[in-house]
Amino acid sequence: MPESFVVVPRGVAAGSAGIAAPATTTLRHPALEPLAGFLADPEVTDLFVNGAEGLFVDRGRGAEKQPGWRTTEQDVRELATALISAGGRHIDDAHPCVDVRLPGGLRVHAVLPPVALGGTVISVRIARAETLDLDGLEERGMLGPAQRARLEQLVAARANLLVTGAAGCGKTTLLAALLERVPAAERIVTIEDVAELRLRHPHHVRLEARQANLEGAGGVGLAQLVREALRMRPDRLVIGECRGEEVRELLSALNTGHDGGAGTLHANGLADVPARLEALGALAGLDDAALARQVASAIDAVVHIERRGGLRTVAGIGRPAVEGGRLTIREQSCE
């Protein structure tokens, strides 16, 4: 990588509507110097580099292609390699898909060819310098007064929550805001593939998965971290995102006295949550009937978030149930 590539965290002025501006990173690279201006823009939440084909920027209105932005595939690959290395991981032909977090609030995901057919793909998510609390989320329209009251009630009652939605809809943001309502005397242990949850809570322990080294040794996955966390006497056990066999360990933990836990899950709607969980259960060796019983017993509420026209909103709250031996989600009213 050329020596002219530098990662420099720096602060920017606060954004509008009471929202803190994102922590930004300046990128200096011969071919990618224009990225610095986008990263310094307080309205930008995501950047997408699609090989040498172009740069797309999301300012809350969806990804928009930036006209006139040019680079080469070699420069994009070198940038991906440098960013992943800065996050303490490595990307190469043996490990062509890698996700990392960087100081300054950046989460970077990169995919190399031939997995990425059109050239190296880089996705950069820019986290806010300060997380939003429930007051801020209500002001932004994510949830109404009745929904907020219901969610606060669930947290106070130590209900086990599953926050669902598409990528970038605000699952982590809402979950962090809810966890900040946990009493200060309780110990929160969070487990993530790439650590994103930042809580204003005095007793928050963060665990992050570790990639295997070049010899394929030393990897620590989410399933193992769940088992380790159970030995740390958590009052609240949280998995940032269930995406594999760790769902078995999480459900087992929540079914054995660990109330007040939480997790997030990718799903298109409340009605799609059962199919998504059944797919993950299959990876963990659970059949549909066993999965349904585990979820109905372990999860007290499913909170679904949708993104409509740039607005992130709580679209519904449901309760898992078993019908005919299969899992279903019954939507509940907040009134």
The pLDDT of residue 52 is 83
Which of 164, 146, 204, 156 has its CA nearest to residue 332? 146
Q: What is the pLDDT of residues 198-250, one digit of tens each?
A: 888 889 998 887 877 766 777 787 778 888 888 888 999 998 877 777 788 78
Q: Are 108 and 124 in contact (CB under 8 A)?
A: yes
Length reported for the chain: 335
Structural domains in the chain, sorted by start? 30-126 (3.30.450.90), 134-332 (3.40.50.300)
Range scoring the smallest mean pLDDT among 114-123, 208-217, 304-313? 208-217
The pLDDT of residue 35 is 67
pLDDT > 50? residue 9: no
The pLDDT of residue 292 is 94
pLDDT > 50? residue 322: yes
The pLDDT of residue 186 is 94
pLDDT mean across residues, the chain? 82
Query: Helix, strand, or coil here: 48?
Result: strand
In order of 57, 105, 163, 174, 326, the CA distances from 42 in angstroms are: 12, 13, 26, 20, 45
The pLDDT of residue 130 is 55
pLDDT > 50? residue 66: yes
Q: What is the pLDDT of residues 14-52, one digit of tens each?
A: 232 222 333 444 444 433 455 677 877 888 888 999 988
pLDDT > 90? residue 289: yes
The pLDDT of residue 13 is 30
